[in-house]
Amino acid sequence: MTRMLIIGPPGSGKGTQAERVSEGLGIAAISTGDIFRAHVKGGTPLGTEARKYMDAGDFVPDSVTNEMVRSRLSQDDVETGFLLDGYPRTAAQVGYLDGILAAREVTLDVVLQLTADDEELVKRLLGRARDTGRSDDNEAVIRHRLDLYHQQTEPVVAAYARRTILTRVDGIGGIDEVTARVMDAIPNPSRVSAASDR
């Protein structure tokens, strides 16, 4: 059983790697960005609220995000482990997650940070904008999301580094190559099948 976080700047491939790890380890991958996008698509009140922030590349307020994560982490499938992708993104969210985990008397096994330099990320995200039409993938919004990552999320990474559960993984390279690095960085992973370790 593994409980872990994957943190990385926008465009670092964390969503793709999170899916592969969750498949390889048989644990739930929980992406706050995906949950928000599902709400936007479904036209729910939460989606309408979240969209205002997402389109501008801003963080959705903690009052919305934290409650959503608490509720997702209370579902049965996370009892056998989980991988949180895209949360926590701020120091305040770290404190909130600490509270959720402490109440359940569980701890994180590892926090992975995917690294890549900003210009490479902008290039990748502009490519993704052309391919998928994601509404938060234009250059001004992309640069704003990167700035927020540096200002707000790097302190999150530093906090986990102080707890000595942080491992940095180079996110530059082919998808399979990065997956291999990610899997190597997870301590004692109990994999569901070797075939999943692409």
Least distance between ligand AMP and beta carbon 17 (Å): 12
Residue nearest to ligand AMP (CB): 33
Least distance between ligand AMP and beta carbon 94 (Å): 10
Pick the closer one to ligand AMP by CB: 34 or 109: 34
C-alpha torsion 185→188→193→195, nearest 10: 30
Pick the closer one to ligand AMP by CB: 33 or 171: 33
**CA of 88: how far to CAs of 46, 49, 136, 198, in Å?**
19, 19, 19, 27
Question: Phi, psi (5° rounding) for residue 113?
Answer: -110, 120
Active site residue 128: yes
Which residues are near ligand AMP by CB under 6 A? 10, 32-33, 36, 53-54, 57-60, 65, 86-87, 89, 93, 136, 145
The one catalytic residue in 3, 14, 20, 124 is 14
Alpha carbon distance 162, 101 (integer Å): 18
Comparing CA positions, the residue from 1, 18, 31 lying closest to residue 113 is: 18
Active site residue 72: no
The one catalytic residue in 70, 72, 128, 143 is 128
Alpha carbon distance 60, 197 (integer Å): 33
Pick the closer one to ligand AMP by CB: 17 or 65: 65
Active site residue 89: yes
Least distance between ligand AMP and beta carbon 144 (Å): 9
Pick the closer one to ligand AMP by CB: 43 or 105: 43
H or E element in which residue 113 lies: strand 110-115
The one catalytic residue in 70, 72, 134, 143 is 134
Least distance between ligand AMP and beta carbon 117 (Å): 18
Active site residue 145: yes
Which residues are within 8 A (CB) of 137 and not within 5 positions of it... i.e. 6 or more apart?
Answer: 125, 126, 128, 129
Q: Nearest 5 degrees, angle CA 167-CA 163-CA 8?
A: 40
Residues carrying an active site annotation: 14, 89, 128, 134, 145
